[in-house]
Amino acid sequence: MREYGCPEKELFSFLAARREKDLGYRNILSSMCTTPHPIAAKAHAMFLETNLGDPGLFPGTASLEEMLVSRLGTLMHHTGAGGYATSGGTESNLQALRIAKKHKPASSPNVVVPASSHFSFEKACDILGLEMRTVPLDANFRMDTEALDGMIDRNTICLVGVVGTTEYGMVDPIERLSEVAEDREIFLHVDAAFGGMVVPFLERPIPFDFRLPGVDSISVDPHKMGMSTIPAGCLLVREPKVFNALNIDTPYLTVRQECTLAGTRPGASVASALAVLEYLGMNGMRAVVAGCMENQRRLIEGMETLGYPRAVTPDVNVATFVCDRAPPGWRVSRTRFGHMRIVCMPHVHRDVVEAFLSDMGEIDAG
Ligand SMILES: *Cc1c(COP(=O)(O)O)cnc(C)c1O
């Protein structure tokens, strides 16, 4: 550290210069995050100093977290869902596996996930000492449930399905997974970190939530399609009491026990996540999602006209193409199979899609 503090003016011109080096979202087509909704930013600013790690000191903010859980639980068709606001999908997935592990003692526990699962499961399995078994995908990049049978055994503590895969935007056959989970009495965790804020707002929603009797827990991230500030994730569970298995004593806080992973937790991003849901309502969210899906349809059509076919028809707003180039100035990403990947987030407006397509067309000409 400096011996004497830096004058404010100098400090902020330094910070502004560094901030300038960041890319604006305008040309970022590779991210599942987006510019926060203006309502999210406004709400965030009101709650800067709040700490949900000590909720007795911030009962107002804590009640907003309860509302967020209740709103998202209801969206997932279970008004009595338990849950809490996490730092994102990674923490939600880790905590879901912790719950599953506590509930089924096994000598060498394993978790069965699709090959498309997010890398957070690798971290969680490493931390929790779980063997990760990977189920192959079908031709449409969804979990091939035919291959599932041989992979589950009595040491399987959890089965995982994904709603809106990070790379290809696919929804696993959760209905089938729910049957398997019920049949074999296995905890079923649904990773809807991305798709949880998309699928319920589609014209034809694909069933994946607590309406399916085998589903025990769901991850859903407001800081992706929920347009909140970062960090805002949510872990939802069918039975609130499953969190008891994670409770530890917290002697000097206003609550006696906590089941969360983090101690100190931001209230600001949680208030922001709730504010967006309240402000937009179902109708507003449907409009946002419809816009993203419509822009994606245009992107796919435009790319195919240029001779770059889609890798698959996605269930949510993640488009992939057989295309090994990209125009300068744009951030796209590559899947592990080398496909070009574009996430049609709310900041990817129609004019952005048109500008991208036009630049794609020019590389071809050149
Ligand atoms: C983004 C994502 C995650 C990880 O979430 P973070 O918020 O980055 O921790 C996990 N699973 C899926 C399906 C995701 O899309």
Q: Whose CA is nearest to atom 4 of ligand 1?
A: 89
C-alpha of residue 115 to centroid of ligand 1, in Å: 15
191 Cβ inside 6 Å of ligand 1: yes
Residue nearest atom 7 of ligand 1, based on CA coordinates: 88
Binding site membership of 261 for ligand 1 (Cβ less than 6 Å): no
First to last CA, the chain: 51
- Point out the ligand 1 atom lying closest to the alpha carbon of residue 118: 11
pLDDT reported for residue 256: 86
Probe residue for ligand 1, chosen from 221, 235, 261 as the CB with the greatest number of ligand atoms within 8 Å = 221
Strand, helix or coil at 140? coil
Tell me the average pLDDT of the chain.
97
Give residue 36 CA to ligand 1 midpoint distance, Å. Answer: 17
Determine the pLDDT at residue 365. 57
* CA 49 to centroid of ligand 1, rounded, Å: 26
CA distances in angstroms from 211 to 7, 75, 175, 197, listed in the order given: 57, 11, 10, 16
pLDDT at position 209, please?
A: 98
Centroid of ligand 1 to alpha carbon of 14 (angstroms):
32
Q: What is the pTM of this model?
A: 0.97
Domain map (residue ranges) of the chain:
10-37+281-365, 38-277
Q: Provide the CATH topology of domain 38-277.
A: Aspartate Aminotransferase; domain 2 (3.40.640)
Q: Which residues of 109-122 are buried (b: 16+ CB within 10 A; e: fewer)?
A: bbbbbbebbbebbe
- Residues 147, 152: Cα–Cα separation, whole Å: 10
Lowest mean pLDDT among 71-80, 235-244, 250-259, 283-292: 250-259
Q: Tell me which of 3.90.1150.10, 3.40.50.1820, 3.50.50.60, 3.40.50.1100 is the CATH number of domain 10-37+281-365.
A: 3.90.1150.10
CA of 121 relative to ligand 1 center, distance in Å: 10
Peptide bond into 205 cis (omega under 30): no
Is residue 296 pLDDT above 60, yes or no? yes
Atom from ligand 1 closest to the CA of residue 90: 9
* CB of residue 233 inside a 6 A radius of ligand 1: yes
Distance 139 CA to ligand 1 centre (A): 23
Rounded to the nearest whole angstrom, what is the distance from the C-alpha of residue 116 to the centroid of ligand 1? Answer: 12
pLDDT of res. 107: 94
92 Cβ below 6 A of ligand 1: no
- Cα(239) to centroid(ligand 1), Å: 23
Q: What is the arithmetic mean of pLDDT over 293-322? A: 98
Say if ligand 1 is within 6 A of residue 221 CB.
yes
CA separation (Å) from 142 to 89, 137, 164, 194, 230?
19, 5, 10, 15, 29
pLDDT digits (tens, 9 = 90+) for 321-330: 999 999 999 9
> What 3-state class would DSSP assign to 120?
helix
Percent of the chain residues past pLDDT 70, beyond the cut: 99
Q: Which of 86, 142, 171, 219 to mutate to test the pocket of ligand 1 (most atoms within 8 A of CB)?
A: 219
Question: How do residues 76-133 score in pLDDT, each as one tens digit?
Answer: 999 999 999 999 999 999 999 999 999 999 999 999 999 999 999 999 999 999 999 9
Number of continuous H segments (helices) and E segments (strands) in the chain: 8, 12
Is 216 close to ligand 1, i.e. is its CB under 6 Å away?
no
